[in-house]
Amino acid sequence: MNRLSLINILFLVFVTNLNAQTDENNVFINNEASINSGKLEYSPAFFEDGIVFISSRPSKKKYKIKDTRIDKNIMSIYLARRSEAGLLQNPEPFAEELLSTVHEGPITFDRTADNIFFTRNNIVKGRPKKAKDGIVKLKIYSAAKVGEQWSNIKELKFNTNEYNTAHPTISVDGDVLYFSSDREGGMGGMDIWKVNRVGDDWSDPENLGPTINSDSDEIFPFIHADGTLYFASSGHSGFGGLDLFSSTVINDQYTEVVNLGKPFNTENDDFGLIIDRDKKNGYFSSNRSGGIGDDDIYSFYLLNNLDQVTGVPAQPIGTRDIEIAVIDDETGVPIDGAKINYILVDELTLAKALLDSEGNEVDASTNELLLKLPFGDDATIGNTDLEGVFPANVKYSNYIFNIQKPGYQSRQVILTSGSEVNQFLITLSKAVPGANDLAGNNNSGGLNNGTNGNNNGPVSNGTSGNNTNAPIVLGQDGGNGLDLGTTIKEGTVIELPNIYYNFNDATIRPDARKDLDVIVGLLNRYPDMSIELSSHTDSRGSSRYNRRLSQKRAENAVAYLSRQGINSSRLRAVGYGEAELRNNCDDATTCSEFDHQYNRRTEVRVTKMSREINVTFIEDTSAPQTIDAAPEEVITGANSNLSSNSSSSSSTNISGTGGDVIIITGLFKNRSNAEKRLNEVRNLGFDNANIQPKGENNMVVAGSYGSRSEANTAASFLNSNGIKTYVKRK
């Protein structure tokens, strides 16, 4: 059958399957055998607790209608929900009110799944209407959900009777609809187009241009929440047949398309990809060898991130340069010759430390939870230079850094693959004579050494006031790093960043349960502990919908804990929806997908515990000092200190008269936080303080000085007033 006839019947390609497999990039692919048949199954879409997809199997006897052009039954829409174990169950017809006697699908939903956009052959008064060439073309329709039914079915105005308009996908804000069409004005074959929402209607179609489209077919687009466009093409360079590609937008221009490579693409047809917000889990269609028959649907899961695996532009690729600056906690003076050794460790090992009984050094009767993650022979060793700086080139993965210097308490930090910060300020405290300074046993300050708990992001300069109930991060957090060197007690919040949910899905996926298993281990170890498990969403969508979705997610997580033997009386599920955003990304603010992701989280709050438990790693504790402290937390007592130091400050030019040595008082992702710090520094007499760009962050500089000794004097004054500093040359 030639490709032209496939276009006219929703690009139905004959397909096969494959058992679960993985490759060197830790991409796991599995044939979803529970939903595939000897028919055509393709083009999945996320919907509630499962997926909706298209199939040529008859949904009912009255829809057993063969399309003689392809010798297949007409296409219908099916729904496959998840079981408690998170696996897709046998499919069922999705919504009979959307079915007709012509081909239905593919489809897409808006963010709240209250509106659907779907492909259907052109029909007039219930009967197919042929174009001038004798072929019934494809059109896009919309419908709204009213109660449990889809109603108000209507054809979108940009359809045409003479050309195909198919395969819709809508942006996360609902303002841009992408689709495939062979209409006039394209590059050839099927192209990808877009329309913008204008009130209750849509603009005229706009072709995405030659970077995306070729003289062959570009079909089955999927627009991710971060703006990445995924699609299938037979025109761009690939492995054969339809291949999967992606492109991002930089400065309003699409970047050169990237082939997703193996194992996503084969010499056969691979198409119809969707992926969740975290770019770790999704589905696609393929007719690769080894399948069940015809097109099959495959699921995939990545230990890393699809951008990292495929090398999509503007995403973390390969290795990166980082810089660790080590200073004296009291004086702000750089510490040269500090020994730093570090190792790469996968995130599974980090969670496993709480589960592995061999890693627990003490029993539950004590107030210490000492866990082993020992450095091995593979550790890389280096030393800070005269300015206290240690540069390193590392992969986008998880690393444990151990920082030691005679006369100081050791520090251990973990850099996670999700962290976007490349410069870290580590403060070392003087060792207390006679104190045990076992590597990894420095728990001074507890969470104050890592996170601030004030919902403004990671910490700047290693100080967070006295908030001992800040979140403990059990894994990747997109920038916070990992903090397990702390205290667990009533009020402690434990963040579970490895619990991933599909779009609009409340089911705990099988690949996303390791953090919950950590909590099971803690609850089994400490039977007097009770918890509240909460789920949070970002602000997009209605507040009512977000609260309902988050409540269901929290309840499913609690149900999982109960199935592992935890008494339900110790568990409470709360869905906060968008009520507790951790940044300013509300409905009135334009934010990146990374910023929205920071708000989407699952947390555990200890609601009952008879005693405090000190959690300490050997050789790998504490979080890196990153960005966005709440400045008000670190300036307690500043005014009184200013008056007592005014004479000494006036005798020193604390503002700086210019030079190549600068004092850094904070690195902030949030501009408003940087401005707060700037005002604090200026109120202390640093009139020349300013904010300078540092990558995507805002660096607050107190002043520039002609010598390091002059800068150190000014830095000591700032330190005495509660503001940590870092002195360095420009």
By the 8 A CB rule, do 15 and 294 touch? yes
- What are the DSSP E strand ranges found in 377-452? 380-383, 389-395, 399-404, 411-415, 423-428
pLDDT attached to residue 650: 37
Highest average pLDDT, of 162-166, 523-527, 693-697, comes from 162-166
Tokens describing residue 286:
């393929």
Mean pLDDT of all residues in 711-726: 78
Q: Distance between terminal CA atoms of the chain?
A: 66
pLDDT at 619 over 50: no
pLDDT attached to residue 452: 27
The values of phi and psi at residue 383, to 5°, are -135, 150
- Cα–Cα distance measured from residue 10 to residue 449, given in angstroms and rounded to the nearest whole number: 57
Angle between helices 543-563 and 514-525 (to 10 degrees): 60
Strand partners, 195: 177
* Count of all residues that appear for the chain in the document: 730
pLDDT attached to residue 614: 65
pLDDT band at 249 (very low <50, low <70, confident <90, very high): confident
- Cα–Cα distance measured from residue 725 to residue 17, given in angstroms and rounded to the nearest whole number: 58
Burial of 643 (0-12, 13-18, 19+ CB in 10 A): exposed
CB atoms within 10 A of CB 383: 13
pLDDT band at 622 (very low <50, low <70, confident <90, very high): very low
CA angle, corner 353, sides to 351 and 359, nearest 5?
Answer: 170
DSSP-based three-state secondary structure for 247:
strand
- Cα–Cα distance measured from residue 37 to residue 293, given in angstroms and rounded to the nearest whole number: 6
- What are the DSSP E strand ranges found in 333-395? 339-344, 368-372, 380-383, 389-395
Sheet of 613-618, strands arranged across = 368-372, 613-618, 486-488
Mean pLDDT of all residues in 590-605: 79
Q: What is the dihedral of CA 641, 642, 643, 644, to 10 degrees?
A: 50
Q: How far is CA 403 from the centre of its chain?
A: 29
Position with higher pLDDT, 561 vs 414:
561
- Cα–Cα distance measured from residue 44 to residue 91, given in angstroms and rounded to the nearest whole number: 12
pLDDT at 403 over 50: yes
Mean pLDDT of all residues in 247-257: 89
Domains of the chain with CATH codes? 3-310 (2.120.10.30), 635-729 (3.30.70.1070)
Mean pLDDT of all residues in 527-539: 90
pLDDT at 628 over 50: no
By the 8 A CB rule, do 417 and 480 touch? no
The lowest-confidence range among 84-98, 208-222, 235-249, 481-495 is 481-495
- Cα–Cα distance measured from residue 689 to residue 435, given in angstroms and rounded to the nearest whole number: 39
Mean pLDDT of all residues in 556-575: 93
pLDDT band at 275 (very low <50, low <70, confident <90, very high): very high
pLDDT attached to residue 642: 29
The lowest-confidence range among 37-41, 81-85, 346-350, 430-434 is 346-350
CA nearest to 362, candidates 614, 644, 141: 614
CA nearest to 345, candidates 398, 289, 415, 296: 398
Rounded alpha-carbon distances, angstroms, from residue 15 to 144, 166, 562, 598? 33, 20, 41, 39
- Cα–Cα distance measured from residue 126 to residue 262, given in angstroms and rounded to the nearest whole number: 43
What does the pLDDT look like over 10-21, one tens digit per residue?
A: 222 222 223 445
pLDDT attached to residue 485: 37
Mean pLDDT of all residues in 265-292: 92
Sheet of 726-729, strands arranged across = 690-694, 697-705, 661-668, 726-729
CA nearest to 248, candidates 296, 302, 183, 317: 317
pLDDT at 648 over 80: no
Average pLDDT value over all residues in the chain: 75
The lowest-confidence range among 166-170, 468-472, 505-509 is 468-472
Q: CA 560, 562, 568, 570 torsion: positive or negative? A: negative
Q: How far is CA 633 from the centre of its chain?
A: 28
Q: How far is CA 672 from the centre of its chain?
A: 24
The answer for residues whose C-beta is within 8 angstroms of residue 506's C-beta and 6 or more apart is: 48, 49, 549, 552, 553, 555, 556
What does the pLDDT look like over 289-333, one tens digit per residue?
A: 988 978 999 999 887 778 877 765 444 446 778 888 888 888 878
pLDDT attached to residue 645: 34
pLDDT attached to residue 510: 65
The lowest-confidence range among 149-153, 423-427, 634-638, 659-663 is 634-638
CA nearest to 711, candidates 641, 658, 667: 658
Alpha helices, DSSP H only, in 437-542? 514-525
CA nearest to 584, candidates 396, 431, 455: 455
pLDDT band at 654 (very low <50, low <70, confident <90, very high): low
What does the pLDDT look like over 677-705, one tens digit per residue?
A: 888 888 888 888 999 887 666 788 889 98
Position with higher pLDDT, 54 vs 636:
54
Predicted model pTM: 0.59
pLDDT at 104 over 70: yes
Position with higher pLDDT, 495 vs 133:
133
What does the pLDDT look like over 114-135, one tens digit per residue?
A: 899 999 999 887 788 999 999 9
Mean pLDDT of all residues in 167-186: 95
The lowest-confidence range among 114-123, 211-220, 386-395, 447-456 is 447-456
- Cα–Cα distance measured from residue 40 to residue 603, given in angstroms and rounded to the nearest whole number: 41
CA nearest to 309, candidates 646, 546, 28, 40: 28
Mean pLDDT of all residues in 538-563: 88
pLDDT at 378 over 60: no
By the 8 A CB rule, do 535 and 512 touch? no
By the 8 A CB rule, do 472 and 519 touch? no
By the 8 A CB rule, do 258 and 310 touch? yes
Sheet of 243-247, strands arranged across = 218-223, 229-233, 243-247, 258-259
CA nearest to 176, candidates 251, 111, 91: 111
The values of phi and psi at residue 648, to 5°, are -70, -35
By the 8 A CB rule, do 465 and 634 touch? yes
- Structure-token match 């309840």, residue found: 555
pLDDT attached to residue 596: 80
Mean pLDDT of all residues in 280-295: 91
pLDDT band at 499 (very low <50, low <70, confident <90, very high): confident
Please report, rounded to a whole number, the percentage of residues in the chain having pLDDT higher than 90. Answer: 31
Rounded alpha-carbon distances, angstroms, from residue 677 to 467, 634, 654, 700, 702? 19, 10, 16, 7, 10
What string of DSSP letters covers 239-297? SSSSEEEEE-EETTEEPPPEE--TTT--SS-EEEEEE-TTSSEEEEEE--TT-SSSSEE
